[in-house]
A = this chain, B = another copy of it.
Amino acid sequence: MDLHALADRLSGRASRYDASGDFPEEDFADLRDQGLLGLMVPPRLGGSGATFAEYTDVAMRLGSGSGATALIFNMHASVTGALAHMPDELVRQFGAPESFFESRDRVLARAAEGALYAVAMSEHGVGSRLSRVRTSYERTGSGFRITGGKTFVSGAGHADAYLVAARDSGSAEPKISYFLVPAGPGVEVRPTWDSLGMRATGSHDVDLDVEVDGDALVGGIEGAALLLAQVMPQWLVASYAAVYVGVAQAVLRHGAEHLRERGLQELPLVRARMGRADVQVAAAELVVREAARRVTDDPGNPETNRWVWRAKLAAGDTAAAVAFSVLEAAGTSATRRGHPLERLYRDARCGALQPATSDVCADWLGAAALGDNPDGVARW
């Protein structure tokens, strides 16, 4: 099954999962069947060894079928992609033990076999500001004990493990580390997710009071979280972007279908709305693909990072704007629940609000355009 056919299947189920808010089980069965959970995993560990550019293509197409499914997939790809693409030398240089590489490979190999990973980063009152995370950890005999509460954990209750950001409870200055925490006792999902859009992501709260082994420490080193945000901003800032371009493409597709069915394609104001939406979506796709290409070819370059922020801003704003305009062209009959444009109008609004929000991106990019260091201000 090619990606186009897969996206069609997701699209056919999207209204149902949106209505129920259930985890899209059938979608993930398809993704597993297609080997997509191993997309970012190196071939030597059983995966496809995809680049960021290849990930972007997949996420965009999935997003054009179902935004919610693509967002959950994006979280899994962020965990596996960041692990797979972490440069070994850098990791060694920062003092990671050799055991890290073994544990990393086990994590990746499990993904290739179909394990699903989720991200538990945000917290109430903290948002996605990593440096302010209140979930804490302390060393135990053989590992760590992690305590706290997380929000907006897409796929909660259906993931095999969670990437958790936590602070060292014994350190005065902020030392934020990542752990990969297996699902199970001590990881409690509170079903709080009931959202305007992207309803099937099941981004519930998760309460943590759990002990993990030493090799759950991602990167094998403590305090790496903020560093990773700066070194690999693509996974934190722009991996959503592809999903929202897919959502925007779905708006165009369903909009055209609806307007033709109603015989409205002859109305000049309808054509003008569609024409302007078309060029906005085409432009956003190019920006996201350009960012992805650069991340693949020249990761970490300041100019690459600038494209990463552009991608997030362009995708989030474009999806929301075209959904707003095309729904207006489509008219009241498209606002009935179950109509794809009704769902897309809600889904599309979410992109600009997810971190880094569009206003934060505009600030980052403005600082860069004005010759300042955009990372001079703490953003995480």
Q: Which residues of B have CB within 8 Å of A335?
A: 195-197, 349-350, 353
In the bound assembly, the distance between CA atoms of A331 and B126 in angstroms comes to 12
Q: Which of B256, B358, B361 contacts A369 (CB 8 A)?
A: B256
Q: Does chain B have a CB within 8 A of A190?
A: no
Query: Are A314 and B268 neighbours in the complex by a CB distance under 8 Å?
Result: no
Chain B's closest residue to A290 (CB) is: B286
Q: Are B370 and A354 in contact (CB under 8 A)?
A: no
* A contact patch SS: helix
Identify the stretch in A90-98, A174-182, A271-279 within 8 Å (CB) of chain B at 4 or more residues.
A271-279
Could you tell me if B272 and A363 are in contact, using CB atoms closer than 8 angstroms?
yes
Chain B residues whose CB sits within 8 angstroms of the CB of A235 once the complex forms = none
Task: Pick the interface stretch among A49-57, A154-162, A220-228, A337-345.
Answer: A337-345
The reply to whether the CB of A100 lies closer than 8 angstroms to some CB of chain B is no
Q: Does A310 contact B (CB under 8 A)?
A: yes
Copies of this subunit: 4
A320: Cβ under 8 A from any B Cβ:
yes
Query: Which chain B residues border A331 with CB–CB below 8 Å?
Result: 127, 353, 357
Whole-angstrom distance from the CB of A347 to the nearest CB of chain B?
Answer: 11
Residues of A within 8 A of B (CB-CB), count: 69
Those of A328-380 within 8 Å (CB) of chain B: 328-329, 331-332, 335-338, 342, 345-346, 349-350, 352-354, 357-359, 361-372
Q: Does A283 contact B (CB under 8 A)?
A: yes
B328 touches A352 (CB 8 A): yes
Q: Report B-chain residues with C-beta under 8 Å of the C-beta of A345.
A: 196, 349
Chain B residues positioned under 8 Å from A278 (CB to CB) = 310, 365-366, 368-369
Is B366 within 8 A of A272, CB to CB? yes
Interface centre among A271, A320, A324, A368 (most CB of B within 10 A): A271
The smallest beta-carbon distance between A119 and chain B, in angstroms, is: 15
How far, in angstroms, from A278 to B256 measured CA to CA in the complex? Answer: 30
A86 at the interface (CB under 8 A from B): no
Pick the residue among B346, B350, B368 that contacts A332 (CB under 8 A): B350
Closest-CB distance, A169 to chain B (whole angstroms): 26
Contact of A268 among B127, B269, B279, B282 (CB under 8 A): B269
- Closest B residue to A283 by beta carbon equals B283
Distance to closest chain B CB from A22 (angstroms)? 15
Measured CA separation A307–B310 after assembly (Å): 21
Interface residues of A in 123-139 (CB under 8 A from B): 127
Contact across chains for B358 and A328 when beta carbons are under 8 A apart: yes
List of 3 A-B pairs having minimum Cβ-Cβ separation, nearest first: A271-B366, A275-B366, A275-B365
Question: 15 A–B contact pairs at CB < 8 A?
Answer: A195-B342, A196-B337, A256-B370, A259-B370, A267-B268, A267-B359, A268-B363, A270-B359, A275-B369, A276-B365, A279-B310, A283-B286, A331-B357, A335-B353, A346-B346
